[in-house]
């Protein structure tokens, strides 16, 4: 471990400090200042105005709808994510790679196109929508449509977090548990879940962050009825177009807090995983 | 940080042809049902809708002058934004991996902010920052640069929303680079710049390219952040996502689907291309 005599690239003092200052400057300009601006604008009328804006009837309705959307989307995608990750990391079958690529589609597709896909299918002119209309079921321009597109947009997050981790951990522990007579549910709860719980948590938090913040897809299928089908991001757009910047930033500050919590959870999860892995590395180096 | 790397290792089935673990049928059923209902059925709806048009009608819609102008604006802005992110992302990843400095963990955590922040929030924030009386806008105005309500605003919005891609794809690769080659070259008297160019960069550039391609793909589809800052002037600062949205508001579903089919095809080609490319360079890394 004698590395003191030889340096690595970019370790001279001036290079190091120039690059660090550049990176810090860019972080400040690109990330910190925008974040700061949200809160400065939201509180520009004082805390009382902020509170009044937040407890405005339409804002509260928007918060309520946004919570409903998240409450329905997150469990659904949690279930899907776990089943899919289990399938592609624990079994070999033809089409496995294709399936992994397919679930990335929502990441690649423009949110507006995502909204349009659902509108075409379930809208009153759509081939499923027409039939639903005859049975008095309206999905588009109502909250069920908002939930459906949000499920589409957020479905890869849990699976994407779980797949690399479960692949790395391998299936030996689980196979041993089966040999020892564990049932499927016992196996998942006692062996798999403890191994993946932190990645699962981060996947859920990411799904939630995107679910409460989705704009493009929701805006296509919502119909923008104030107090009825307006989620928080759509409400922000409405307020902004009404030249109520303080009101818009008040709702934005709420979503920014959710974003910050997401980042905190991510840091925490990475710290936990590093700690879980650390003893393993030491053993390997000694062995 | 190493979590992603484990997935590169090829897994051998411990019992070929025999499934020890339970839940194959259940997880296959749930996954296929979900993928069919949520992803494939709606996409087939778009295909049906577009197929309802004649070829001439379809071509007239997708090659309409205003729509073509929107492709041009979107492609150029996405290209510039993703290249900008390539440079900035490489720098940020390098500094985060190679150096330690106070506040490093906070900076590292902040990198994901653009993914966590809703696009509408990013949109109004950037619009306020770059407005003529905004924090950045007033400084840029003295230099005679206008960002808000110009195509430049589109580039700013695209760069912001896709910044993490390059950082997060380059970072793990940079962490796992072996030090031996680098140290050997330096001890033989090569300059830092030469070692970076000849030894480090060749190992980094597949990841860098992947990051830039992901950033580009995301920028092509971006909508929420852009519409607040772009000004949305036809032929000048109208992106293709907005074009689709406008056609929808005119209740012209056929035209909206036709333009959407172009966008969808482009993003699917990019997605499969990136996946194939990744698989290829990962195999090469293993062949070593």
Paired tokens of A145: 């449509």
pLDDT digits (tens, 9 = 90+) for B26-85: 999 999 999 999 999 999 888 888 888 899 999 999 999 999 999 999 999 999 999 999
pLDDT at position A59 is 95
Q: Judge if A20 and A58 occupy the same domain.
A: no
Question: What is the distance of C-alpha A65 from the center of its chain?
Answer: 18
Distance CA(A129)–CA(A278), nearest Å, equals: 54
Q: Is residue A125 located within the same domain as residue A221?
A: yes
Whether residues B46 and A117 touch (CB distance < 8 A) is answered with: yes
Are residues A34 and A51 located together in one domain of the fold? no
Contacting residues of A for B43, CB less than 8 Å apart: 105, 117
User: Exposed, middle or buried, A48 (CB in 10 Å: 0-12/13-18/19+)?
Assistant: exposed
B192-245: pLDDT as tens digits: 888 888 889 988 988 999 999 999 999 999 999 999 999 888 999 999 999 999
Which helix (H) or strand (E) is A113 found in, with range? helix A111-122
Contact yes or no for A246/A41 (Cβ under 8 A): yes
Q: Closest by alpha carbon to A236, among A58, A23, A30? A: A58
Q: Cα distance from A45 to chain B (closest Cα, Å)?
A: 16
Alpha carbons within 13 angstroms on the beta-carbon side of residue B105 total: 6
Taking phi first (over 0 means left), then psi (-120 to 50 degrees means alpha), and beta for anything else, what does residue B124 get? alpha
Tokens for B233, please give them: 């002037």
Domains of chain B: 54-287 (1.10.3720.10)
Which long-range contacts does B114-117 make (Cβ < 8 Å, 24+ apart)?
B114/A31, B114/B160, B114/B161, B114/B162, B114/B163, B114/B164, B115/A206, B115/B164, B116/A206, B116/A209, B116/A258, B116/A259, B116/A260, B116/A262, B116/A263, B117/A35, B117/A213, B117/A255, B117/A256, B117/A259
pLDDT score for A18: 94
CA dist A156 and A102 (Å) reads 9
Q: Do residues A174 and A149 share a domain?
A: yes
CA dist B284 and B264 (Å) reads 30
Task: Flag whether residue B1 sits within 8 Å of chain A, measured between CB atoms.
Answer: yes
Between B287 and B43, residue with greater pLDDT: B43
Cα–Cα distance measured from residue A81 to residue A287, given in angstroms and rounded to the nearest whole number = 36
Instruction: Specify the CATH number for the domain of residue A79.
Output: 1.10.3720.10
Same-domain status, A25 and A97? no
Distance from the Cα of residue A92 to its chain's centroid: 28
CA distance B154 to B151: 5
Which residues 6+ apart lie within 8 Å of B108 measured at CB? A267, B96
Q: Tell me if A262 and B107 make a contact (CB, 8 A cut-off).
A: no
pLDDT of residue B11: 46
pLDDT of residue A136: 85
- Residue B203's pLDDT is 87
Residue A2, CB-side half-sphere exposure with 13 Å CA sphere:
1
Could A240 and B228 be called an inter-chain contact, meaning their C-beta atoms sit closer than 8 Å? yes
Q: Tens digit of pLDDT for each residue in B85-125?
A: 999 999 999 999 999 999 999 999 999 999 999 999 999 99
Helices (H), strands (E): how many in chain B?
16, 0
The answer, yes or no, to whether residue B14 has pLDDT greater than 70, is no
- Write out residues 51-70 of B within 8 Å (CB-CB) of A: none
Q: Do A1 and A61 reside in the same domain of the chain?
A: no
So what's the pLDDT on residue A166? 93
The length of chain B, given as a count of residues: 288
Burial of B42 (0-12, 13-18, 19+ CB in 10 A): buried
Rounded-to-integer distance, Cα A210 and Cα A37, Å: 21
**Closest partner CB to B163 (pick from A30, A110, A164):** A30
- Quickly list H helices, B131-252: 137-142, 151-176, 179-187, 192-195, 201-221, 224-229, 240-249
pLDDT value of residue B140 = 94
| DSSP symbol at B38 | I
| A10 to B94: CB separation less than 8 angstroms, yes or no | yes
Cβ B186–A33 below 8 Å, yes or no? no
Task: Read off the pLDDT of residues B130-168 as tens digits, 9 standing for 90 and up.
Answer: 999 999 999 999 999 999 899 999 999 999 999 999 999
**Mean pLDDT of successive 10-residue segments in chain A (287 residues)?**
61 90 96 97 94 94 96 97 95 92 91 94 83 86 94 95 90 90 89 92 94 95 86 95 94 96 92 76 49
Same domain, A151 and A27: no
Which tokens in the block code for residue B46?
A: 């778009």
Same domain, A19 and A51: no
Structure tokens at A91: 């079994």
CB spacing of A213 vs B112 below 8 angstroms: no
Which pLDDT belongs to residue A287? 38
> Cα–Cα distances in Å, from A110 out to A191, A200, A236, B219, B240?
38, 26, 20, 9, 10
Query: Quick check: helix, strand or coil at residue B191?
Result: coil
Contacts of B269 (CB under 8 A, 6+ apart): none
Between CA B158 and CA A47 the distance in angstroms is 32
ipTM metric: 0.90
Q: Which residues of A touch B34 (CB under 8 A)?
A: 80, 83-84, 155
Q: Which residue segment(s) compose the domain that A34 sits in?
A: 1-42
Phi-psi region of A65 (alpha: psi -120 to 50; beta: other; left: phi over 0): alpha
User: Same domain, yes or no, for A21 and A155?
Assistant: no
Q: Tokens in use for A65?
A: 């709808």
Q: Across the interface, do A116 and B248 touch by the CB < 8 Å criterion? A: yes
Residue of A nearest to B9 (CA): A168
Is the pLDDT reported for residue B287 higher than 70?
no
Band (pLDDT 50/70/90 cuts) for residue B181 is: confident
Do A3 and A57 lie in a common domain?
no
- Cβ–Cβ below 8 Å for A113 and B116: no
**Gap between the Cα atoms of A287 and A36, Å rounded:** 49
- Which pLDDT does position B16 carry in this prediction? 46
Model confidence pLDDT, tens digit, residues A183-232: 888 999 999 999 999 999 999 999 999 999 999 999 999 988 888 899 99
| A9 and A94 housed in the same domain | no
C-alpha distance from residue B121 to each of A52, B126, B158 (Å): 20, 9, 14
User: In A, which residues are within 8 Å of B21 by CB distance?
Assistant: 90-91, 171, 174-175, 178, 187
Total number of domains in chain A:
2
Q: Which residues of B190-229 are buried (b: 16+ CB within 10 A; e: fewer)?
A: bebeebbeebbeebbbbbbbbbbbbbbbbbbbbbbbbbbb
Contact yes or no for A80 and B39 at CB 8 A = no
Helix/strand/coil (H/E/C) assignment for every residue in A144-162:
HHHHHHHHHHHCHHHHHHH
Domain shared by A157 and A34, yes or no: no
pLDDT digits (tens, 9 = 90+) for A237-258: 999 999 999 999 999 999 999 9
Chain B residues in contact with A29 (beta carbon < 8 A): 136
């Amino acid at each position: 471990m004698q590395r003191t005599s030889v340096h690595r690239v970019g370790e001279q003092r001036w290079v190091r400090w120039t690059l660090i200052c550049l990176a810090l400057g860019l972080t400040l300009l690109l990330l910190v200042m925008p974040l700061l601006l949200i809160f400065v604008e939201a509180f520009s009328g004082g805390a009382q105005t902020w509170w009044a804006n937040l407890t405005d009837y339409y804002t509260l309705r928007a918060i309520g709808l946004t919570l409903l959307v998240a409450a329905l989307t997150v469990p659904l995608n949690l279930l899907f994510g776990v089943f899919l990750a289990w399938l592609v990391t624990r079994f070999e079958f033809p089409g496995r790679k294709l399936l992994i690529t397919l679930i990335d589609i929502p990441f690649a597709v423009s949110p507006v196109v995502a909204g349009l896909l659902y509108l075409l299918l379930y809208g009153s002119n759509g081939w499923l929508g027409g039939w639903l209309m005859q049975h008095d079921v309206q999905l588009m321009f109502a909250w069920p449509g908002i939930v459906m597109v949000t499920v589409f947009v957020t479905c890869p997050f849990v699976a994407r977090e779980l797949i690399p981790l479960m692949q790395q951990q391998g299936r030996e522990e689980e196979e041993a548990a089966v040999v020892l007579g564990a049932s499927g549910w016992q196996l998942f709860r006692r062996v798999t879940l403890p191994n993946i719980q932190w990645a699962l948590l981060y996947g859920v938090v990411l799904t939630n962050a995107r679910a409460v913040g989705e704009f493009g897809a929701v805006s296509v299928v919502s119909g923008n009825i104030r107090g009825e089908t307006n989620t928080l991001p759509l409400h922000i757009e409405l307020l902004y177009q009404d030249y109520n910047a303080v009101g818009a930033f008040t709702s934005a500050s709420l979503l920014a807090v959710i974003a910050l919590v997401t980042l905190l959870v991510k840091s925490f999860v990475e710290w936990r995983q590093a700690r879980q892995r650390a003893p393993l590395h030491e053993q390997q180096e000694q062995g | 940080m190493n979590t992603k790397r484990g997935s590169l290792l090829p897994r051998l089935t411990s019992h070929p042809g025999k499934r020890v673990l339970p839940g194959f049928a259940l997880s296959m059923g749930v996954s296929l049902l979900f993928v069919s209902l949520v992803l494939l059925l709606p996409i087939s709806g778009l295909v049906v809708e577009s197929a309802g048009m004649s070829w001439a009608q379809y071509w007239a819609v997708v090659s309409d002058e205003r729509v073509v102008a929107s492709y041009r604006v979107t492609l150029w802005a996405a290209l510039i934004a993703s290249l900008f992110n390539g440079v900035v992302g490489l720098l940020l990843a390098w500094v985060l991996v190679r150096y330690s400095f106070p506040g490093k963990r906070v900076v590292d955590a902040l990198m994901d902010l653009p993914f966590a922040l809703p696009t509408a929030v990013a949109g109004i924030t950037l619009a306020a920052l770059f407005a003529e009386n905004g924090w950045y806008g007033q400084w840029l105005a003295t230099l005679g640069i206008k960002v808000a309500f110009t195509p430049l605003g589109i580039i700013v919005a695209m760069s912001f929303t896709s910044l993490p891609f390059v950082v997060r794809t380059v970072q793990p690769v940079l962490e796992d680079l072996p030090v031996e080659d680098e140290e050997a070259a330096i001890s033989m008297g090569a300059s830092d710049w030469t070692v970076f160019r000849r030894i480090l960069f060749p190992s980094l550039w597949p990841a860098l390219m992947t990051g830039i391609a992901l950033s580009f793909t995301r920028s092509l589809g971006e909508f929420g952040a852009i519409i607040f800052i772009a000004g949305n002037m036809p032929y000048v600062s109208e992106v293709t996502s907005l074009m689709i949205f406008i056609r929808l508001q005119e209740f012209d579903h056929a035209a909206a689907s036709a333009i959407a089919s172009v966008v969808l095809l482009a993003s699917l080609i990019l997605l499969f291309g990136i996946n194939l490319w990744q698989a290829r360079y990962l195999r090469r890394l293993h062949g070593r």
